[in-house]
Structures are given as C-alpha cells and as structure tokens.
Amino acid sequence: MKNQVQLITYVDRLGGQRDRGDLKRLRRLLAEPGSPLAGVFGSVHLLPFFHAIDGADAGFDPIDHTEVDPRLGDWADIKALTGQLDVMADVIVNHMSSGSPQFQDYSENGEASAYAGLFLTLDAVFPQGVNERDLLAVYRPRPGLPLTYATLRNGERRLLWTTFTPAQIDIAVHHPQGRAYLSGILRTFADNGIRMVRLDAVGYAIKKAGASCFMMPETFDFIGEFAAEAKALGIEVLVEIHSYYQRQIEIAGRVDWVYDFALPPLVLHAFSFGTATALKRWIGIRPTNALTVLDTHDGIGIIDIGADASDRAARPGLVPPEELDALVERIHAASGGESRLATGAAASNLDLYQVNCTFFDAMGRDETAYLLARALQFFLPGVPQVYYVGLLAGHNDLDLLARTQVGRDINRHFYSEHEIARECERPVVGRLIELIRLRNRHPAFGGTFSVGASSDTELQLRWEHGAHWSALRIDFASRDHALTCSDGAGGTQHFAFS
C-alpha cells in the first residue's frame, strides 16, 4: 500500500448530481488538472459501488457484488480510475442481499435450489439443536439475536442467520457456493486493476455452535486462506474489526493491515480532558500496520477504547469507564446535541457502540484543534485515510438524517460539485489539503518514528530520514502547538494551523 494519504468516499456522494454521481466525474475531481482535489491523494477507497448502491445498508448489502451499479458507470470506468490512482474496494464477506439472484432462487426452490447451502440457517450452525446458553454466547454488536424468521416463496419457513439486518443474509463461506462466490469477486477486482481490498464484517464470517461466532481461531484461519488467495492475484488485504484494543493488537499480528479504530476516540479524549496519557499509552503499543483514521462511513467507535465486555474487571479499557461515558456526553454537547439524535437507540441506529457525528462537529467546529487532530493522525506510523466528509470539515447532515432516519447518515452528506468548490475555499479545508500534501511529499515520513519525553498533557512526535525531519508538538491542556520540518535547504519550515 502506498505510503500516502488515502481518501475514503462513496462514488455518488462526492460530486454527485441530484444525489447521484458517477465514476467519470469522480476521476475528474481527483485526477484532472484544475480540480481543487487533483493530485491530493495517493489512493482512494471506494465504498460499495456495486449493484445496488441504495439498498438497506448503503451498498453493503449487494445484490450483485461483481456488477457496478449502472448509475455510476461500469468496470471500464473503474479500470480507468485505477490507471491514475491506487484503488481499494470492499469485499463484503459475511452476507449478501435478500434481493440477490442466488437468494431469490433459494426462496423459490428451497432445498432443491443450487444455492441451498449458500445461505446460513439456524440448523446449519446448530445441526444438533440449540439451547439458550449457546444462543447467548453468540456475539452481536446490535441488540437481539442474529436471526430472522422468514417464509420463503415456496412456502418453507426458515430461521435465517442475519448478523446485521434482515435484508443481509449471511453466507456459508466454506460451502462450495460460498467459496466460488467470494473467489469470483476477487478475480473480478484483479481483472479491473483493484490492488487493495477491505474485508467488511469478516470477524463474523465463521459460525460455530457453542462459540461466540466472532474472531475465533477458525476466523483467523479463514482470513489467512482468503488473504493468500488475494495475494496470489496481487491484492493486499485490510481487515475491518471493531473490538477490544488488546484483541486488535492480536489481530494485527496475523493480517496485512488493520484499522486504528482506537485513535478517533482517544484524540477526542485528549482534547476533551486536556491529557495525553491514554493517547501516549496507545501509541506505545498500537500496531503500525494500520490505516489511521479519525472518521469513516460509520460512527466514532467507543468499544475500541473501552473495557472488554467479556471481563471488564480483568481487561480494562484505555480510559476509565466514567471518562468514556463523559466523553460521549461531551461529543453530544460539542455537536449541539445533534449527535444524540443519531446515536444509541435514536434514528433506527443499531450500532450501539458508536457515536454518529462528523468529526469536525464532534470537536465543536474548532478549526485549529481539528487541524491538530489531523496532523496527529498523519504523524502516526501507518497509512492515513481521510473520509470525504472529514476532508471538507463537514457538518452534521440533519436533513438527510430526517429523511432516512438512519443514524449514520448524519455523516454521509451528498456533496454537489458546486458545494465541493465552495467548501475548498474555506481556510480549514485549504489548510488540511496543505497538510495532506506535506504528509505525502516530505521525505521524513519514509524514515524513523519516535515519541519524545513530555509531560502528561503534551505529546511530541518526530520523523527522521537522513537529513530530513518533521516534528509535531501538542499540549492538550494549553493548546500550545508547533509543526516544523526541514525545508530541504538546511532551514526549518513552520506549518501554520490558523
């Protein structure tokens, strides 16, 4: 993966027209001279662009994972984009849409369908029957059981395994049909120039009677097998897991890339409480084969710095529980209460471990603090990834939230080309773009990273590569700060945050 800042975006929400966009327009926006974003990013992660992009979960419930939604373009457009930027795409490993041809055939023909073994039922996981203890052992990040009662079109009744929503039917990844389905996705990606994939929801892909069905040894084995298949096609693999921080460290030791999901809440904690203690502890132990993020298409994770739900006393979090609770309330206060409308049980939100809010609003629209947070993100070892709303220092989209009543849509605004041009004129966005260019181009970031000694309120980070160096200092209590770097001519360059 290229050591440059990567954009994460929906195709239809950045530069769209009438709430739709296309791949040609996105390629012009990111690559053609004259665009305010031309040459800013080294790569782009395209969130689901498959048929269809407007299902039950914004494309994460594909009807056909190997077809580009025709409203966006086709595979030729994807291939054209990969000729100018490295592209990451999602492999939605755990499930497919109830509207898929495979499930429709199964619904029509039941056990006589060629796809009968592709979809998981309760009996497929518990062939000897199930008891209350076994069901309660299953981990699910949402309330209730991962099961949906369904009557198929042929009249048969089934309890389908549905980890996320009733429209997202879990698949049997080891069944011949499941293996063929996932392999076909990888081959299609490779044929069209995609060289990075994110395994979405892979932590839930393996089910085992009597176990948690989340990140088990068998899950690691599956990830290893799938990653090897991808590697043979020239594709790198990123694993997406929200989990207790120690587990994340363990996962990172066994895969190519992971997300640093602990970073966003820890950055907010540092600014909110005026302390660098928890953040410095994490920097000392965090995996470096990570994509660093402050925001994504989902909410701000809380589980990632909290105690392990399986044993809170023996496995505490990175911050005390009372501070974690206070942090959530401070985010709500900083956003003027807007995040509360989209979090927890509000707005049909089922991800109870996340706070839904743009990161800029979570920081109270403090432009200097926001840019310092981005600088911190860019200084940590790994590959930085910037979400399209965060790139434009976006505000909470209450209108979209009101229309859809989907909590995460508060941070999934549809930007027109006119809006993008206007937002890029804002000083905070211009400074962020300059910061991205600095991170991409300065030679120091290809060298050695170190953390300097400092007080509990201060953080000092430094990169060195030969005669090149770059240093960041932030005092979270006083907000005193500095970003300096070598200028290539024996002098020092100062980055202004305001």
Question: 358-367 burial, b if ≥16 CB within 10 A, otherwise e?
Answer: bbbbbbbbeb
Cβ–Cβ < 8 Å for 164, 408: no
Residue 36 domain-assigned (yes or no):
yes
Among 414, 429, 446, the domain boundary falls at 446
Residue 135 domain-assigned (yes or no):
yes
- For residues 252 and 309, state if they share a domain: yes
Residue 29, CA distances (Å) to 8, 48, 191, 416 in order: 14, 19, 24, 11
C-alpha torsion 336→359→29→59, nearest 10? -90
The DSSP secondary structure of 281-316, one letter per residue, reads HHHHHS-SSEEE-S--SS-EESTTTS--TT-TTTS-
Cβ–Cβ < 8 Å for 246, 258: no
Residue 210 domain-assigned (yes or no):
yes
Residue 136 domain-assigned (yes or no):
yes
- For residues 214 and 352, state if they share a domain: yes
Among 446, 463, 479, the domain boundary falls at 446
Strand 448-451 with 415-416, pairing: unpaired
Q: Which of 61, 69, 200, 338 is flagged as catalytic?
A: 200
Instruction: Identify whether 425 is a catalytic site residue.
Output: no
Q: Closest Cα to residue 92, out of 149, 19, 168? A: 168
- For residues 439 and 459, state if they share a domain: no
Cβ–Cβ < 8 Å for 452, 467: no
- For residues 335 and 462, state if they share a domain: no
- For residues 47 and 15, state if they share a domain: yes
Residue 1 domain-assigned (yes or no):
no
- For residues 220 and 279, state if they share a domain: yes
Residue 300 domain-assigned (yes or no):
yes
The CATH number of residue 212's host domain is 3.20.20.80
pTM of the model: 0.95
Q: Which tokens is 187 given?
A: 């081959």
Q: Which tokens is 49 given?
A: 């662009």
Hey, what amino acid is at 430?
G
Instruction: Give all strands (DSSP E) within 308-457, no chain letters.
Output: 354-355, 383-387, 415-416, 448-451
- For residues 314 and 291, state if they share a domain: yes
- For residues 133 and 209, state if they share a domain: no
Rounded Cα distance between 85 and 79, Å, is: 10
- For residues 146 and 21, state if they share a domain: no
Rounded Cα distance between 163 and 79, Å, is: 33
Instruction: Identify whether 69 is a catalytic site residue.
Output: no
Helix, strand, or coil here: 213? coil
Helix, strand, or coil here: 495? strand
Residue 41 domain-assigned (yes or no):
yes
pLDDT (tens, 9 = 90+) of the chain, 498 residues, equals 899 999 999 999 998 765 566 999 999 999 999 899 999 999 999 999 999 998 888 889 999 999 999 999 999 999 999 999 999 999 999 999 999 999 999 999 999 999 999 999 999 999 999 999 999 999 887 778 999 999 999 999 999 999 999 999 999 999 999 999 999 999 999 999 999 999 999 999 999 999 999 989 999 999 999 999 999 999 999 999 888 899 889 889 888 899 999 999 999 999 999 999 999 999 999 999 999 999 999 999 988 999 987 788 889 999 999 999 999 999 999 999 999 999 876 544 444 578 999 999 999 999 999 999 999 999 999 999 999 999 999 999 999 999 999 999 999 999 999 999 999 999 999 999 999 999 999 999 999 999 999 999 999 999 999 999 999 999 999 999 999 999 988 899 999 998
The total of structural domains in the chain comes to 3
Instruction: Give all strands (DSSP E) within 102-195, no chain letters.
Output: 147-151, 157-161, 168-170
Cβ–Cβ < 8 Å for 373, 269: no
Interacting residues of 120 by C-beta distance below 8 A, sequence separation 6+: 160, 161, 169, 170, 171, 172, 207
Confidence (pLDDT) at 303: 87
- For residues 302 and 435, state if they share a domain: yes
Q: Which of 22, 57, 90, 240 is flagged as catalytic?
A: 240
Confidence (pLDDT) at 348: 43
The CATH number of residue 112's host domain is 3.90.400.10
- For residues 456 and 439, state if they share a domain: no
Task: With residue 9 as reference, give the H or E element that holds it.
Answer: strand 6-9
Confidence (pLDDT) at 349: 42
- For residues 159 and 180, state if they share a domain: no
Query: What's the half-sphere exposure (Cβ side, CA atoms, 13 Å) at 284?
Result: 10
What is the C-alpha R_g of the chain?
23
Q: Which domain holds residue 476?
A: 451-495
Among 148, 168, 188, the domain boundary falls at 168
